[in-house]
Amino acid sequence: MRVCSFVKFTLVAAALVLAPVVAQAADPGGPPSYRAPVVPYYDWNGFYVGAHVAAGWSSAENSDVVFLGGGQAGYNYQVGQWVFGVEGELAGTSEGGSVSFMGLRTEWSVDWVATLAARVGWVVDPRWLVYGKFGAAWSHASTETTFMGVPVPGMSLDKTSSGWVLGFGSEYALRDNWTAKFEYDMFGGNDFPSGVSDDKTHVFKAGLNYRFGYSPGVRAR
């Protein structure tokens, strides 16, 4: 009797252990379906506005460092890891000076610089974008000559010059809607940007952007 009970107990235990294996083998659905893991990503799409500060200098000999400060606005459209966009900037400058001789005094300045450029970027990391840009640039230069404090007719300049801008940079998503960027730009063109020379101007800038309509999400990898 004891032997029979032991045999019955062994058969029942074996049946319980083998039941899941038999059920899986009989499943007509085949092996379990594979689900791709989801990972967080940063959405670069949409409009943004921001501000920047910069320092630059001309390729002319004995050029002084010029400081710039202003704002930018743009739009990005993301396709996979590619980001296409357009951006406009407007900045005031510290470029200017004066010359005096025998009662004559001439003051000059580059009042502002503006650009409108296309951007093409590549998402290296979900929150890190590298990009290049190319577009048009404009600047406004003015001069005024006085003699003993009285303006001299015909010796003043009020001119807007056009040129081009070529640059590249990197932008990083800090948190939610905010991103930070660092960028190098080279300006050139006929009598740009000062209105009196065709020397290239090199500018390094740092800025912050605020992106509208940002919503975090996940996607399959």
Nearest Cα neighbor of 192 from 106, 112, 105 is 112
The pLDDT of residue 145 is above 70: yes
Q: What are phi and psi of 36, to 5 degrees?
A: -65, 140
- CA distances (Å), origin 1, targets 4, 8, 9, 15, 93: 5, 11, 12, 21, 104
The pLDDT of residue 161 is above 90: no
Per-position DSSP letters for 61-127, written without gaps between them: TTPPPEEEEEEEEEEEEEETTEEEEEEEEEEEE--EEEEEETTEEEEEEEEEEEEEEEEEEEEEETT
The pLDDT of residue 141 is above 70: yes
Average pLDDT, the chain: 80
**Contact by Cβ (8 Å): 70, 94:** no
pLDDT in the model for residue 9: 45
Give the whole-angstrom CA distance, residue 220 versus residue 217: 11
Give the whole-angstrom CA distance, residue 215 versus residue 43: 7
Q: What is the pTM of this model?
A: 0.73
Give the residues across from 143 on adjacent strands.
108, 157
Q: What is the pLDDT of residues 74-109, one digit of tens each?
A: 999 999 999 999 999 999 998 877 777 777 888 778
Q: Domains of the chain by range and CATH?
A: 43-215 (2.40.160.20)
User: What confidence tier does 195 reach under pLDDT thresholds 50, 70, 90?
Assistant: low
CA 133 from centre of chain:
10
User: What confidence tier does 215 reach under pLDDT thresholds 50, 70, 90?
Assistant: low
The pLDDT of residue 66 is above 80: yes
